[in-house]
Structure 1
Amino acid sequence: MTSSPESAPARFKDLCLDARDHQALADWWCAAMGYVRRGEGEPVGRPVAIVDPVGGGPLIWVVPVPEGKVVKNRMHHDVYGDVERLRGLGARVVQEPDAAKGIPWHVMRDPEGNEFCVFAPAG
């Protein structure tokens, strides 16, 4: 079954990422993906919007929450990237690629433990 955007009950808007230290995690994702803060001087305790400065990626809200991450994400980012450079920024590898299982990506965690998958750069 196919549907058109006009007939769909919802359509994609933004991504949201919870964080205990949302200011620091927004800065981390900006460094990791080349994003920038959409606006400066957000009130303390308010979500931080980060954007791709060339308009290629989605807007991401980094939202302050009081609790730390406890269980595996049910939704996550997939990115093209350099695993070693991401490690240098503070990400941790939690699963290596496994050719025998057909898994060509790394699973990593950002500094707050949010999982994301890293694929070799396209091309």
Structure 2
Amino acid sequence: MIDVHFVTFDCAQPYELATFWSEATGWVIHPDGGKEDDEILLQGALNMLFIRVPEGKTVKNRVHLDVTGSEGTTRDQEVERLLGLGATVHDDRRNPDGTGWVTMLDPEGNEFCVCRAGYEKA
């Protein structure tokens, strides 16, 4: 059995990307992290580590996050909120019956999906 220590994102601007995800999740950037650092730790329900790499993203992620709204927010409200934080819609898979998801891109192009929360399915 293993414990997952971090989910790590290779990126060009660690502090800026960690800030986006901090605003998206409400999690906090570790106090030792500074704007010019090559590694920034975001602490929350899952630790996310953002590491500066020289190469850019060129292909689809092989692993991605699926997220839902919390505290009674809907999938559609979360999509709008995340757009306001700097994400973009990559693929809208919402269906007229309310099912489906939206694949979004964070500011560095990493894919993540916004899904309906359990309370929306009732």
Q: Residue 88 of structure 1: which of 84, 87, 90 is its match?
A: 84
Aligned residues of 2:60 and 2:111 also touching (Cα < 8 A): yes
Q: Which of 43, 56, 61 does residue 73 from structure 1 map onto?
A: 61
- Figure out how many residues of one structure are paired with residues of the other and give that number: 110
Q: CA deviation at 1:79?
A: 0.8
* Structure whose CA Rg is larger: 1
- 2:59 match: secondary structure: coil
Please tell me the residue identity of whatever aligns with 1:76.
H
Read off the aligned partner of 1:72 and give its amino acid letter. Answer: K
Quick check: 1:11 aligned with 2:7? no
SS at match of 1:17: strand
Q: Which amino acid aligns with 1:67?
A: E
1:50 counterpart SS class = strand
Deviation at 1:67, TM superposition (A): 1.6
Within 2, Cα distance between the matches of 1:93 and 1:41? 29
Q: 1:119 to 1:46 in 2, by over 3 A?
A: same
| AA of the residue aligned to 2:47 | L
1:106 corresponds in structure 2 to 102
**CA root-mean-square deviation:** 2.2
- Shift of the 17–85 alpha-carbon distance from structure 1 to 2, 3 Å rule, reads same
Identity in percent: 38
TM-score (norm 2): 0.79
User: Counterpart of 1:63 in structure 2: which amino acid?
Assistant: I
Runs in 1 of length 4+ with deviation above 6 angstroms?
none
